[in-house]
Amino acid sequence: MVEGELRVRRPDASELGEIRDGKLSYDELLAEAERLQSQMAAAAETTRLPDSVDPKHVDAMAYRALLALAWR
């Protein structure tokens, strides 16, 4: 970013560059945002993920992950 270049390793990197460069209109961006929101809403309806998580369990998992990284 300091050099004015966007270096992204992802499948939609060229699309992100087009957005950055202003090649998409505001209306096109809003339409894409609405499409993505619809996809997320549909995914939320069919997901197998729980509605909530146990914060203590998440903390314990994060702690174990940090320890594993520290002892590499």
- Compute the Cα dihedral for 2, 4, 35, 31 and give only its sign: positive
| 3-state SS class at 10 | coil
For 47, phi then psi, to 5°, come to -70, 150
Contacts of 13 (CB under 8 A, 6+ apart): 6
1, pLDDT greater than 60: no
Is the separation of the CB atoms in 17 and 7 below 8 Å? no
What's the pLDDT band for 2 if we cut at 50, 70, 90? low
Q: What is the value of pTM for the model shown?
A: 0.56
Residues 6+ apart with CB under 8 A from 29: 19
Q: What is the pLDDT of residues 26-49, one digit of tens each?
A: 999 999 999 999 999 999 999 998
